Structure 1
Amino acid sequence: MNRRHLLQGLGRAAAMAAVAPAVLTTRVAEAHVTACEELLPGHPESVGLSADRVEDVFSRVQRRVSDGLFPGAVALIARRGRIVGHRAFGTRVRGEDEPVTLDTLFDVLSITKVVATATAALVLVQDGVLRLNDRVADFVPGFAGSGKNAVTVRDMLRYTAGLPIDVHFLGEPGCDDPWRRMAEEPLEYTPGAQVLYSDLTYRLLGQVVEVAAGVDLDTFAKARIWGPLGMRDTTYNPSAALIPRTAATGYSEIRGRVVRGEVQDEQDYALGGIVGCDGVFSTARDLAIFCQMLLNGGRYGGVRVLSRQLAAAMVSNQTPEVRAEDTDVSPMANLLLTPKGYGWELATRRFSTGGMRLARDAYGKAGGAGTFVWIDRRRELFGVLLTNHGLPTPLDEIGWNRMLDAVGTAEFFDGIVNAVVDE
């Protein structure tokens, strides 16, 4: 019996109950651990921030909404365990009189990679059910041959698996098994030789997690990540009861309607919405809990989700063979090619979506519909900016640049750092 079949039998029991942590073979920097166990409201001055500058950050988000650059947003700023600002702007649906509220859910698209898939994989490593050096071919049928036999879970986590950015199966003649079509996609480069940000990689990594866990990503994440942390509004495929609280993104020509409560990416929607690269919906408050958990070294509210070592590994540079100086040459190149953690993007000096003022060991994640989180662990500071801008049309380098300019993510995070007055 090979490892994949064995884990299908063990997954349901072992993945849902913690056992002895696995030993990491990589050396990582120790994550800063704050003393704040839970997020509480606070005043900016109490944590070394200027109240006027925090207000300026929010005013700039409001201006962009008022100028029609996107319909609505929720923004949150926290430092040292205190939420110093949490504001809602605009409308949930473009052109409708339906105001965004603080508990509005947003399609976070690629933030799924960290709040679901990468964290789930590391929980399974911690449980001893999965290993970083396990071969992907042992879990995903069809993922073998053509140099892919040696691709590991760690390769996928750090975007060095050799796979292309994506493979488009919608509308392909005879594509009756899209998962096999994706698994059989040939490599574009030698695994481990470079970084290439890839939705395809994380879709297949999601399959690895599901095989190892014996349940789908939504079920596993709710049982082992979101539920224990109290992230009660974080989910794949929001229920009918949650749709009125969910922000709409763009119009889908394929579906013939405005997308609301469904993942905007057409391929992930066709796959049922529960996938490793996209599909999660969440609120700013829930994402703030997730950010604080990482600042706390893997625990929050008395619950440990990740060991301190795994939490540190997740947000450390896992691609030291790649130099930011060589790859941080444009906003799109920054997303695709610069050094990465396990799922996370790392701060760089030029074209980071977190701006230019974050500490060099900061980390964050961008979602293609206009959602962003960045964490500055040295300053114990983070921000969450969720908008319903929607995926750029077309989704190319020019479209990506226009979306970033419209949302003003660099301005938002630069403004947060500018509000720090105690250093």
Structure 2
Amino acid sequence: MTFSLDTHRLERIAALLEREIEQENIPGAVVAVGRGETTAYFECFGYAENANGRSRPMTKETVFDLASLTKVTATLPCILTLIDDGDIRLNDPVALFIPEFADAAKGVVTIRHLLTHCAGLVPSRQFYELFSTPQAIRAAIRREGMGITPDVRTEYSDIGFMLLGEVVEAVSGLALDQFASERVFTPLGMSDTMFCPPPSLFARIAATEYGKVGVVHDENAEALGGVSGHAGLFAPMTDLISYVSMWLGHKPLLSDAVRRLAVENHTPALNGNRGLGWVCRHDAYDHTGDLWPRTTVGHTGFTGTSMAFDPASGLWMIILTNDVHYGRQKKAIIRLRHRLHNLAASAIRWE
């Protein structure tokens, strides 16, 4: 069965976002919806910055702090590339690459455990308050202890992806940002996707909380120098459309085999539905509303970003907002994401 997207119905997205911006629930947004390589809807709304006496309009070229989309846009494809290259296996113990992680409790933790958030690690820790240098923080991450036994439950963990970033460096001999640039972003033509953007790009970057522009919002990532496996990546919509197109098989990078493996539910017997990095349908972190296909996967970022795609039908949606600009407690984006995905799904005409 095939489908098309009713562009008239997609216009309802604009009305909803304009109301949210007028009510100051979010300052602005860039939204795109498509199928495969075809972009059916791509619009921008509101402001990239709208506080402290400063106002900048949002544009289609605005660059966003992706927050935890870093996990699936940088760290995940780097790990999958190393699997494709034959350098690592999903069931390799993390301690094979990070000797400091080897003790009786942690020796059983594998790459798969980290990718599926069932390693038993705590969600996060305020390393930026505990240590004064990136080197000290990285050492602490490598020594991080267990919360619970692996494979008991899924519990979303920034620390797991911090460790995966360390694995990329240990195996490849390159820092995460360099490996991601050489093996992921450059091959896909993602020319404006990067960690630690230069000041020359700041005028295009959406401001996050406290008026931060071009400096990563996540405090741990900032304390690590702006590069981490869990956060720190910046990108515009056009680059992310290229990235999601790769996941749908339209751009060469990862093998078909590893892409199929990544979008499977690896935790069906636990309390969540997790692929490799990706969130599967009906997980507690699933942001795709009520109407998307059961084969959909996605991910969100704390700053107000999200990406979702269905590998079976080719449907995809990317929402970029600077939701935290009005304060991190408001989080209007959580409910808004579901409503926007419902609008996109309601525009599908099955044929």
TM-score scaled by length of structure 2: 0.93
State which of 311, 324, 338 in structure 2 corresponds to 1:410.
338
| Separation in structure 1 between the aligned mates of residue 61 and residue 325 of structure 2, nearest angstrom | 22
2:334 partner letter: L
Runs of 4+ aligned residues of structure 1 deviating over 3 Å after TM superposition are: 173-176, 391-395
Deviation at 1:320, TM superposition (A): 2.4
Which residue number corresponds to residue 241 of structure 1?
Answer: 200
* Count of matched residue pairs: 347
Q: Does 1:273 align with 2:226?
A: yes
Identity across matched positions, percent: 33
Which residue number corresponds to residue 359 of structure 1?
Answer: 293
SS at match of 2:123: coil
Which residue number corresponds to residue 316 of structure 1?
Answer: 264
State which of 173, 182, 191 in structure 2 corresponds to 1:232.
191
Deviation at 1:392, TM superposition (A): 8.8
What is the 5 A alignment of 1:245-394? 245-251=204-210, 258-296=211-249, 299-300=250-251, 304-322=252-270, 327=271, 338-348=272-282, 352-390=286-324
Structure 2 residue runs of 5 or longer lacking an equivalent are: none
| Separation in structure 1 between the aligned mates of residue 269 and residue 244 of structure 2, nearest angstrom | 27
RMSD: 2.1
Deviation at 1:195, TM superposition (A): 1.1
| Separation in structure 1 between the aligned mates of residue 158 and residue 316 of structure 2, nearest angstrom | 25
| Separation in structure 1 between the aligned mates of residue 216 and residue 129 of structure 2, nearest angstrom | 19
Q: Does 1:421 align with 2:349?
A: yes
1:250 partner letter: E
Deviation at 1:266, TM superposition (A): 0.7
2:282 partner letter: T
Q: Does 1:211 align with 2:170?
A: yes
Post-superposition CA distance 1:176-211 (Å, at most 9, x none): 722222222221111122211100110011101111
Q: Does 1:71 align with 2:19?
A: no
| Separation in structure 2 between the aligned mates of residue 280 and residue 220 of structure 1, nearest angstrom | 13
Which residue number corresponds to residue 111 of structure 2?
Answer: 153
Which residue number corresponds to residue 39 of structure 2?
Answer: 83
Which residue number corresponds to residue 124 of structure 2?
Answer: 166
Deviation at 1:118, TM superposition (A): 1.1
Structure 1 residue runs of 5 or longer lacking an equivalent are: 1-33, 35-46, 252-257, 328-337
Deviation at 1:403, TM superposition (A): 4.2
1:151 partner letter: V
Larger CA deviation: 185-194 vs 138-147: 138-147
Which residue number corresponds to residue 331 of structure 1?
Answer: none
TM-score scaled by length of structure 1: 0.78
| Separation in structure 2 between the aligned mates of residue 89 and residue 403 of structure 1, nearest angstrom | 14
| Separation in structure 1 between the aligned mates of residue 129 and residue 236 of structure 2, nearest angstrom | 33
Larger Rg: 1
What is the 5 A alignment of 1:8-23? none
Post-superposition CA distance 1:118-170 (Å, at most 9, x none): 11001011111222222211222421214101211111111111111012223
